[in-house]
Amino acid sequence: FDAVVTGYSDFHTLRVAVKIELGGVEYRSLAVLSWMIPMYWIGWLLLSIVIVAPYLASPPAAQYRAAIQDQPKPPHNTTWEWIFQSVSALTNTGMSLVDDSMQLPLGKCYMMLFPTMWLILVGNTAFPICLRAVLWVMQLMLPRKSAMYETLRFLLDHPRRCFIYLFRTESTLFLLATVLLFTISDWFFAMVLDQSLINISEPTRHSLISYA
């Protein structure tokens, strides 16, 4: 239908019949978000637990399991520790049940590091990007004349009308570029400065670490 659309998808000059149609699509969009967002969070959480928890209980992860079990306070169970860390990463609280957090030897456990990094992104920093990507992929899999396709297209075309953490295509791409730029820059300078710290003398290195 024809309408004047201003900022944040405010519709103007609508007839009564068109308002009823718009209200139906918007209601369905909110209903889809009401079950999709909990499934999004629970899905990523369960996936990380299914992948990492069995690895931590396996023989190749004995050294990492020992670091968790040897800490002075419970829990000493690796599965519960990883469940807590997964929730912590997904909600971006930065907490861990291990006293030394992700320092050595856990700092070399890439089966924990990479899932933790991914959960931090999909749960917080890149949440708008990933949620819009899920909606976009879903609408590609649906018939164009279905009600669900119309609902998903409404979410993609008028995201700010339905959810504060959904943005239009241009804003989402800008956020993606910003996240990549800051992540790569942070990673690069961390490696360069870490290498510089290794190359300086031992007393100076201890002084810098103590100051930090």
Which DSSP letter does residue 122 get?
A: I
C-beta of residue 25 within 8 angstroms of C-beta of residue 19: no
11-36 as b/e: b if 16+ CB within 10 A = beeeeeeeeeebeebbebbeebbeeb
**Angstrom distances, CA of residue 91 to CA of 42, 86, 116, 132, 185:** 12, 9, 11, 19, 23
CA angle in degrees (0–180, nearest 5) for 40-43-46: 150
Q: What is the pLDDT of residue 74?
A: 74
Using H for helix, E for strand and C for coil, what is the string for 183-205?
HHHHHHHHHHHHHHHHHCCHHHH
CA 95 to chain centre: 16
Is the predicted pLDDT of residue 207 greater than 70, yes or no?
no
CA 147 to each of CA 15, 40, 153: distance values in angstroms, whole numbers, following the listed order: 22, 21, 10
pLDDT 10s digits, 148-205: 999 999 899 888 888 989 999 999 999 999 999 998 998 888 888 777 666 665 555 5
* Span 88-97, average pLDDT: 88
Contact 41, 33 (CB under 8 A): no
pLDDT at 198: 62
Q: Which residue has the higher pLDDT, 123 or 25?
A: 123
pTM summary value: 0.78
